Amino acid sequence: MRGSVQTRLEAELAQFRKDGVYKRLNYLDSPQAPRVTMEGRGEIIILSSNNYLGLSNVPEVVAAGKDGLDRFGAGTASVRFICGTFTVHRELEDTLARLVGTESSLTYVSCWNANEGLCATLLGPDDIVISDELNHASIIDAIRLAKAISKCQSAVYRHSDLNDLEEKLKAAKDARTRLIFTDGIFSMEGDIARLPDILDLAERHDAIVAMDDSHASGVLGKTGRGTAEHYGVLGKVDIITSTLGKALGGAAGGFTASSAAFTDYLTQRSRPQLFSNALPCTVAASALAAVRHLERHPALDPAARQRPLFPGAADGPRVQAASGRNAHHPGHPGRDSQGDADERDAAGGGRVRDRVRLPRGATGTRPGAVPDFRGAHQGRPRPGAPGI
C-alpha cells in the first residue's frame, strides 16, 4: 500500500477509535448458541446473534451439512449456469418457495447479493423503484447500483407513511414498472411493514411489491413463514428476498422467491447469480435441513422457551453477560479496548432503570445501561436512504 493511502487509512482508523465507532472482532471458540465460549472471555451469554431459533447447532442440521460435504465435496467450483448447480440446490429452492408461499425461488451467496440482483435485472430507464426510507442498507445499495447499471428511476417514501407512498405512486403513473421495495421487519427499528396496506396500494396503482423478509423468515407468523403469514396474505407478495443466515439455520446464503418466470429471468440475467460460484453444497444441505426441521416443529419446543436464560449457581460455571449493541458505551466490543476497570464504572447516558456491573476482577465488558422503553417508540430516521 502506497504511503499516502496508508497514512490516510491509519488516520481514519484512529478517528474511528476516538469517535467510539471502531469495531473489534470477538472470536468464538464454540458453536453459536445461547451460551458460547469467547476467546479471552470464557463462557458468556450471547444476546445479540441472529440465530433466533437455535437451528445452527441442531444435531440434524449439523449432520446434514456433514453429509452434504461427504456427498458433494467442499466447493462447487463453478457458477450455476456452467456446472455449479447440484441437486441439493433444487431441493433447497423448492423448499424455500414452499416456505414463503411463492411458485419458485433462487438461491444466492447472500441476501445482499439477492437484493443487488433484483433491481438492476428487473428495472430499466422506464421503470421506478420506490423505497421506504428506513430500508436495510442492502436495499439502499441495490437501488444505487441499479441506477448506475440500468438507469432506473427511484423515489423514497417516509417510513411506513402510506399517504406519502401513494403520492410517489401517483407521480410515477407513467413509469412502465412501479416497484415498491420494503423490509418485512425493519432491522433497526423493530417494527413490521404495513404489508396489507402496501399490497392494497400496489393493486390500485398497478405496482408490484418486493419485500426483504430476512428478519421475519422462520420466526414471524403462526408457523414461521414470515411477514406475509403474519398478516394472512401468504402468496400475495410478488417478490420476497430473505436470508439463510439468521433464523433459518444461522448459515450463509440468501434467496429470491417469486414466480417461476421471474426466477428463470434472474437465472438468465442476474449478474450476481451469473458470475458468482453457487452456494456451497454443505451450506445448502444444512439450510435445507433447518427449514425442514422448522416445518416439522413449528412451535420449536415451547417448553425450552420457559427455561431461564441465566443459570443459577448450581447449574454450572458463572456466566458473564456480553455487552449490548450500544457502540458508544465505554467498554463495548466496538470500542478499541476490552473494558478496563475504570470503564466498568463509567456512567452510561440516557434514561436508565437498571444497571449491571461486573466484579472488578472479571474479564470482559460491562453491559450497557438498560434503557427505559416505557414511552412509545416512534422510530428515528437514519441517514442513508434519502440519498438513493
Closest CA to 179 of 126, 143, 129: 129
Closest CA to 279 of 92, 120, 25, 13: 92
Cα 355–Cα 360–Cα 362 angle in degrees, nearest 5: 90
The catalytically annotated residue of 150, 187, 259, 337 is 187
| Residue 242 known to be catalytic | no
Cα–Cα distance measured from residue 286 to residue 214, given in angstroms and rounded to the nearest whole number: 18
The catalytically annotated residue of 246, 293, 329, 332 is 246
| Residue 187 known to be catalytic | yes
The catalytically annotated residue of 215, 230, 293, 329 is 215
Residue 98: how many other CB atoms lie within 10 Å: 15
Cα–Cα distance measured from residue 358 to residue 342, given in angstroms and rounded to the nearest whole number: 12
- CB-based burial, 193-224: b 16+ in 10 Å, e otherwise: bbbeebbebbeebebbbbbbbbbbbbbbbeeb
8-state DSSP, 152: -
| Residue 246 known to be catalytic | yes
Q: How far is CA 240 from CA 30, 121, 209, 223, in A?
A: 33, 15, 8, 17
The set of catalytic residues is 187, 215, 246
